[in-house]
Copies of this chain bind each other. A is one copy, B any other.
Amino acid sequence: MIRFDCDYLEGAHPAILQRLMETNLDQTIGYGEDPYCQAAAEKIRTACGAPDAAVHFLVGGTQTNTAVIYSLLRPHEGVLSPSTGHINCHEVNAIEGTGHKVLPLPAENGKITAQAVEQAVLAWREDASWEHIVKPGMVYLSQSTETGTIYSKAELTAIRQVCRKYRLPLFLDGARLGYALAAPGNDLTLSDLTQLCDVFYIGGTKVGALFGEAVVIPNPDLIEGFRSLIKQRGGLLAKGRLLGLQFDVLFTDRLYFRLGQHAIDLAMKMKEGFAKKGYAFWCDSPTNQQFPILTCQQVERLSRDFSFDDYGPAGPDSRISRFCTSWATTQEQIEALLNAI
Binding site for B on A (CB under 8 A): 1-3, 5-6, 8-12, 14, 17, 20-21, 23-31, 59-63, 66, 70-71, 74-78, 89-102, 128-129, 131-135, 205-206, 210-211, 224-225, 227-229, 231-239, 242, 307, 309-310, 328
Contacts and interface: CB of A to CB of B under 8 A. Distances in A.
A27 B101 CA distance: 34
B90 A101 contact: no
Given A76-B92, A99-B96, A232-B76, A29 B5 contact: yes
A232 B97 contact: yes
Contact of A225 (B76, B91, B229): B76
Nearest to A233: B234
A226 to B, nearest CB: 9
Contact of A11 (B5, B100, B239): B239
B60 A228 contact: no
Nearest to A245: B11
A30 B11 contact: no
Nearest to A205: B238
Contacts of A238: 8, 60-61, 205-206, 211
B96 A100 contact: yes
A128 B309 contact: yes
A94 B133 CA distance: 10
A210 B212 CA distance: 14
A66 B135 CA distance: 19
Contacts of A227: 131
A225 B99 CA distance: 15
Given A94-B233, A96-B96, A210 B134 contact: no
Contact of A134 (B8, B93, B224): B93
Given A3-B27, A25-B328, A92 B8 contact: no
Given A75-B70, A131-B228, A96 B92 contact: no
Nearest to A227: B131
Nearest to A89: B133
Nearest to A63: B234
Contact of A235 (B225, B234, B309): B234
A242 B20 CA distance: 14
B229 A76 contact: yes
A92 B26 CA distance: 29
Given A26-B10, A231-B92, A239 B225 contact: no
19 contacts: A1-B27, A10-B26, A11-B25, A11-B26, A20-B20, A75-B93, A76-B93, A77-B93, A78-B93, A89-B132, A90-B129, A91-B232, A96-B99, A97-B99, A131-B227, A210-B239, A210-B242, A211-B237, A234-B235
Contacts of A225: 74-77, 135
Contacts of A78: 93, 96
